Chains A and B, each alone.
Chain A
Amino acid sequence: GNSVTQMEGPVTLSEEAFLTINCTYTATGYPSLFWYVQYPGEGLQLLLKATKADDKGSNKGFEATYRKETTSFHLEKGSVQVSDSAVYFCALSDGQAGTALIFGKGTTLSVSS
């Protein structure tokens, strides 16, 4: 079945450091891929998305590229801020199996000043 695997956290970085959170997926067909972010006490917010191979999603300095050959969708940011501290979820939606999201287990990011 479809699944998403994220790197285990927590990830602890200093402000202005480079961030990579790895995400790989298993899916039939051509899924859409997403990154969601969850701040403490809040719901999930869509951070970025990509709907086909080689698409690059970007938002608020975060980027991720849909790599079909490696079945990956790694999240990157060049310079993190304290305000980026949150839990990040990689997710996929396989249109063939429906549009419900399948999530990874989430990666906690903690940024210190």
Chain B
Amino acid sequence: DSGVTQTPKHLITATGQRVTLRCSPRSGDLSVYWYQQSLDQGLQFLIQYYNGEERAKGNILERFSAQQFPDLHSELNLSSLELGDSALYFCASSRGVVEPQHFGDGTRLSIL
């Protein structure tokens, strides 16, 4: 158990819809990362927050957004969903910004 909690584990929805994925980092970790894992693109970094502030952006679409709340949990919002957004979305956390990242078990998003 990594200590990183992601909910829900599975999400099935339709094209055009909007979903919210939630992540609770390990106790004491200030940095949260979001990654997308798909068969064609592999594991790709989406966005990072540190202590409530956005710190880095990767290949995140404009339809996607995220935030980190004062209690340090984070949410990833995906809107206007397309079939190609079907993937496994991972959250990871670390103590600071240079320590190793610890991953949650992911949320599997299926778009029908």
Chain A positions within 8 Å of B, measured between CB atoms, are 32, 34, 36, 41-46, 49, 89, 93, 95, 98-106
Contact = CB atoms under 8 A, between A and B. Distances in A.
B48 to A, nearest CB: 6
A21 to B, nearest CB: 15
Contacts of A45: 2, 103
A102 B45 contact: yes
A43 B42 contact: no
A42 B105 contact: yes
Interface stretch (B61-69, B72-80, B93-101): B93-101
Contacts of B103: 36, 43-45
B4 interface: yes
Closest 3 CB pairs of A and B: A43-B103, A100-B45, A103-B43
A98 B56 contact: yes
Given A32-B98, A100-B48, 8 more contacts: A43-B105, A45-B103, A46-B101, A99-B48, A99-B56, A100-B45, A102-B45, A104-B42
Contact of B100 (A34, A41, A106): A34
Contacts of B106: 43
A99 B101 CA distance: 9
A34 to B, nearest CB: 7
Given A34-B100, A43-B2, A44-B90, A101 B105 contact: no
A105 B42 contact: yes
Contacts of B104: 43
